[in-house]
Structure 1
Amino acid sequence: MISLQKGQKIDLTKGNPGLSKIIVGLGWDTNKYSGRADFDLDASAFLLDQNGRAGGIEDFIFYNNLVGGDGSVQHTGDNLTGEGEGDDEQIKIDLASVPSHVEKIAFTVTIHEAIARGQNFGQVSNAYVRVINEVNDQEIMRYDLGEDFSVETALVVCELYRHQGEWKFNAIGSGFSGGLAALCANYGLQAG
């Protein structure tokens, strides 16, 4: 299993011949604090073209749209609390079936109703993303995001992208203010 640092790019399929069905698992812990509301963190995936833009709402896979990319990308459902061990949310991808116009898949985590609840990623710890081979349940790579965030309400965690016919993984770990609406705008979508 390979452990990545922020900014690192690594081959995903080249070093793992035959790899197609993967699970991208995202996890986090929330710090104990005196707020009145529970944290509800949401993982999402944006299917992007060569210009880094989503074609439409169907290219935005999240808790209200669990399947995209002609069925090649599937969110396993919303976890409302983040309690317990292991991945809090998972997105399954069949790399061989991702539509050809999709050059990049960006994975993000946002805090539901962050502003109203007075919450941000400064109150979140132990955030990570890992890639698992769905066929044998083997963890291929992992990226621990560290504690670099303060007031941000959205994170771009990582990207999968095509490079010379193979898929690569990019550990991004950059924060956004403005939550999901800002992320959607960044990728060319109008948020609801």
Structure 2
Amino acid sequence: MGISLVKGGNLSLTKAAPGLTKVLVGLGWDARTTTGDKFDLDASALGCAASGTVVSNDYFIFFNQTRSPEGAIEHLGDNRTGEGAGDDEVVAVDLSSAPAQLDKVVFLASIYDAETTGITFGQVRNAYIRVVNAADNSELARYDLSEDASIETAMVFGELYRNGADWKFRAIGQGYSSGLAGIAKDYGVNL
């Protein structure tokens, strides 16, 4: 079991797992059973430069663009139902092949077609993000999002970031009522 983080908390991954070269970042969630509405959440990753914006649009990783140019960030598949135990969607990050300009990787989830369906994160429960050492499948860090996000349609769950030679993970839990487009705009993605 990894370190359980609170919002804003961080952990040095390279100190927790010396020799760490690749992580799997799992995002999970369940639909609230009270509404009965079916919906699809999509995990995405944004590869950012030191400026805080994406290196380029090629670093907006999601179900239609699953790999960064050098393959350091890879989305491992779209789960359209969120059903079943464990991670619903996973993004692999190869820290050893991350280019020098890649300063951080931001992980988010958005509700697909939220504008039409009216679904918000208020109808999502048990949302979490976790970081796993790909070498031995040991969980290094976990953040359970417990806040009620009644109007948000997208949420930044957490981020991996460089701190000198180390890689760290920070729990964020920042909701956006402007959906994926709002997050993309804040991080410099041209949609």
Specify if TM > 0.5: yes
Q: What corresponds to 2:20 in structure 1?
A: 19
Deviation digits for residues 140-163 of structure 1 (CA, Å, limit 9, x no counterpart)? 111101133110001000011100
- Provide the TM-score with structure 1 as the length reference: 0.95
Deviations 1:127-185, CA, capped at 9 Å, x for gaps: 00111111111111111011331100010000111001110111000101111111110
Matches within 5 A, 1:18-37: 18-34=19-35
Separation in structure 2 between the aligned mates of residue 136 and residue 15 of structure 1, nearest angstrom = 13
For structure 1, list consecutive stretches of 5 or more residues without a partner in the other structure: none
How far apart in 2 are the matches of 1:111 and 1:190?
Answer: 19
- Kindly state the Cα deviation for residue 14 of structure 1 after the two structures are TM-superposed: 2.1
1:42 aligns with 2:54: no
| TM-superposed deviation, 1:111 | 0.2
In structure 2, distance between residues paired with 1:154 and 1:74: 20
Partner AA of 1:4 in structure 2 = L
Q: Is the 8 A contact 1:69 1:99 kept in 2?
A: no
Question: Aligned partners of 1:186 and 1:42: how far apart in 2?
Answer: 18
Q: Give the paired residue count.
A: 190
For 1:69 and 1:140, the matched residues in 2 are separated by 27
8 Å CA contact 1:159–1:169 kept in 2: the answer is yes
Partner Cα separation in structure 1 for residue 162 and residue 121 of structure 2: 29
| 8 Å contact kept, 2:46–2:61 | yes
Q: Tell me, in whole angstroms, the C-alpha distance in 2 between the residues paired with 1:135 and 1:55.
A: 27
* Backbone CA RMSD of aligned residues: 1.2
User: What SS class does the counterpart of residue 115 from structure 2 fall into?
Assistant: helix
1:68 corresponds to = 68
TM-score of the two chains, using structure 2 as the length reference: 0.96
CA distance in 2, matches of 1:171, 1:69: 26
Q: Is the 8 A contact 1:69 1:98 kept in 2?
A: no
Q: Give the secondary structure class of the aligned counterpart of 1:107.
A: strand
- Identity %, equivalent residues: 48
Partner-residue secondary structure (3-state), 2:15: coil
Aligned to 1:146: 146
Distance 1:83 1:42 in 2: 13
Q: Which residue of 2 aligns with 1:101?
A: 101
Match for residue 8 of structure 1?
9
